[in-house]
Structure 1
Amino acid sequence: MDLLEQVQTYKKDREGPFIRECIDTTMRNVFVVSLAVADLVVAIYPYPLVLTSVFHNGWSLGYLHCQISGFLMGLSVIGSIFNITGIAINRYCYICHSLKYDKLYSNKNSLCYVVLIWVLTFVAIVPNLFVGSLQYDPRIYSCTFAQSVSSAYTIAVVFFHFLLPIAIVTFCYLRIWILVIQVRRRVKPDNNPRLKPHDFRNFVTMFVVFVLFAVCWAPLNFIGLAVAVNPKTIIPRIPEWLFVSSYYMAYFNSCLNAIIYGLLNQNFRREYKRIIVTFCTAKVFFQDSSNDMGDRMKSKPSPLITNNNQVKVDSV
């Protein structure tokens, strides 16, 4: 092998991991952006309508807005859990099956996975329109999924939209934790890929996102499961404060992801600081500009005075 071939081989060995890391970062960001979109859906339309119903002490926007609000709320919830599941599978493939990762998560495949997540989310929400389960609940001032409309449908919702995704995510993260422990104890062979520090930090971030989602949504789903099993007996026994608190705790989860990213991810912290500094700088700039404009207006002589002075000079 001549010198040129050695240099090319060295460059490939050095550039390969770097390119792979850049591709992984881009694809991971696609899933994170998709999760962020799911969290923002409720803030765009349903939450303002909830505030309106609180101010009016009841729903006054009609049946259509109620259905749209409930549909978008469900879209946000199911989209969040499906995106969290997709992220867990992505991390599992990247860390535990790294040799197959590049083929499984190419640019085209990753975008197809995101589209598939939203298609499944939409398909999962559509049956609510036919079952009639999107209704206004005066206890929470919002149109949402009514757990007592259909016992069979409520059980299916809790299983396919919560328990099954939670089981898949738990399996993925459990396998990753096992690999992390093995790597830390140096029991893995040297020819297997090691877990890099930034991979571990990203994994911890998404694991915390998953744990908080499960904790926030578990009470409401368990209440729904209990109501579905025996509606006549369970519904009168559920205190209103318990249902209301579990409902708002569940939807408060949409606000937590951005906080988690800011606390655990250095890139997000850097961008948060840059946004805050930019906002404060712009605010100070506009204040200084307005003050300068006011000073110039005060120091500038009025046209009347200028004309009078000119007349006096001319007359002299």
Structure 2
Amino acid sequence: VGVVGNSLIIFTICRYRRLKTTTNVFLASLASADLLLILICIPVKLARLFSYSWTLGELLCKMLYFLQALSAICSVLTLTTMSIERYYAIVYPMRAQYRCTISQARRLCAAIWLCSLVLACPVLLLQVHMEVGVRVRAYWCVRDFDSPLLWRSYETYMLVLVLLVPAGVMAAAYAAISNAIIHMMVQRRSITGKGQMANGVLLLNGSSRGRRRESEESEVRQVISMLVVVVVLFVVCWGPILVVNVLKAYGVIPAYSLTLKHVVTAADLLSYCNSCVNPVVYGFMSRNFRESFWQVLCCRRYSYQPSVSRQMSLSVTRTSILRYNADTSRVWNSRSLSSRVTYPLSYGYNVGRSAAPDGPVLIKTTPS
């Protein structure tokens, strides 16, 4: 599931132009990190469940745990960067149109991978290939027990880097995003509410405008919900093994115990499950991914047609203002005057620049 799902994500994002957005560039990077873990680390870890000896040598002992740390760090840095980028795109939407671009997202992904390579290096110092046994010789690939300070420092470092700090940043970012969305929705409804009078201005909505608003709001909820679920799953899957490693390093639980062996193994495997569930989340929660997966699996050609729901610009355009001049008793229609109130929510989608043909009508009267 993990191999097919993550490969499908990368393929569909590269193939379909409608999926080439800033958010999906980060998701492709996340899928690449998951694929790295699935193809290299999981087979070796599964083989270890049926053997008490490490037979792959010292180099692979260090590289396996290095790649595991690399995948975890790259994934969490990608998720954190996505939350910050989404926050910036919503709170500062006009700047985001020029700064939160696909090329910028690609550069950020390259920087994330380089930083992850550096941040994962400490495990090379801690992981050792040691010979054990008296009568029967065997080799283990374990943490360096002879350096308890280094062991504790590394496990604390990983807990803070992979779990505590990113979880705090992402929680704050998505809380601010939710607050900004609610504020924008309320403000827009107060402006475009049907039959609402403010300062002598009466706003009447067309039915198509209402349908478009519902479609936009549904798309907003869909994208944010999907990202939040991905973050929660990462914390749930990686949290237990990181906490267990810290407890083992500080001697709260024994480093090796037959009683706790199955608990530690389950926590270890749970961290790998995260790499397999993300494609399922995208398929269930994102309509665009669902359609693209169907196109690829059925080998069907897709003719791209821009939809209103992808134009994430909550706007009021092409307004007709009827003004009544009390002095000359004239009524004139200023259709050439275009009043635009825009609240762009760039959720990885292009900000809409076109307007619906039947926008709302503003009727302004001068008190007699």
Of 242, 259, 263, 1:242 maps to 263
RMSD: 3.3
Q: 1:186 to 1:105 in 2, by over 3 A?
A: closer
1:133 is matched with which residue?
127
Letter in 1 for 2:178: W
Measure the CA separation in 2 of the matches of 1:274 and 1:144: 46
Matched residue count: 250
Structure 2 counterparts to residues 148-187 of structure 1, below 5 A: 150-186=151-187
Measure the CA separation in 2 of the matches of 1:82 and 1:212: 15
More strand, by proportion = 2
Q: Is the 8 A contact 2:226 2:285 kept in 1?
A: yes
Q: Is the 8 A contact 1:70 1:134 kept in 2?
A: no
By relative contact order (CA 8 Å, sep 6+), the higher-ranking structure is 2
2:210 corresponds to 1:215: no
**CA apart distance, 1:62:** 1.4
TM superposition score normalised by structure 1: 0.69
Residue aligned with 1:121, SS: helix
1:59 is matched with which residue?
54
2:227 corresponds to 1:227: no
Measure the CA separation in 1 of the matches of 2:270 and 2:154: 23
Structure 2 counterparts to residues 1-316 of structure 1, below 5 A: 26-54=21-49, 58-130=53-125, 132-133=126-127, 150-186=151-187, 196-228=217-249, 230-231=250-251, 233-235=252-254, 239-278=260-299
Please identify the structure whose Cα radius of gyration is greater. Answer: 1
Q: 1:127 to 1:183 in 2, by over 3 A?
A: same
2:136 is matched with which residue?
none
**CA apart distance, 1:172:** 0.6
Measure the CA separation in 2 of the matches of 1:118 and 1:151: 25
**CA apart distance, 1:61:** 1.6
Q: 1:91 to 1:50 in 2, by over 3 A?
A: same
Measure the CA separation in 1 of the matches of 2:299 and 2:264: 42
Q: Is the 8 A contact 2:127 2:141 kept in 1?
A: no
Q: Is the 8 A contact 2:25 2:102 kept in 1?
A: no
Between the aligned residues of both structures, percent identity stands at: 25
Measure the CA separation in 1 of the matches of 2:144 and 2:167: 22
Q: 1:135 to 1:277 in 2, by over 3 A?
A: farther
Q: 5+ residue gaps in structure 1?
A: 1-21, 137-141, 280-316
Residue aligned with 2:73, SS: helix
Cα offsets for 1:239-269 (capped at 9, x unmatched) = 2222111111111111010000000011221
More helix, by proportion = 1
Measure the CA separation in 1 of the matches of 2:296 and 2:277: 19
**CA apart distance, 1:182:** 2.8
**CA apart distance, 1:162:** 1.7
**CA apart distance, 1:201:** 1.4
1:16 is matched with which residue?
none
TM superposition score normalised by structure 2: 0.60
Q: 1:133 to 1:268 in 2, by over 3 A?
A: same
Q: Is the 8 A contact 2:62 2:123 kept in 1?
A: no
Measure the CA separation in 2 of the matches of 1:145 and 1:189: 60
Q: Is the 8 A contact 1:92 1:176 kept in 2?
A: yes
Residue aligned with 1:234, SS: coil
2:305 is matched with which residue?
none
Q: 1:72 to 1:176 in 2, by over 3 A?
A: same
Cα offsets for 1:216-245 (capped at 9, x unmatched) = 1121222233334x32x4326882222111
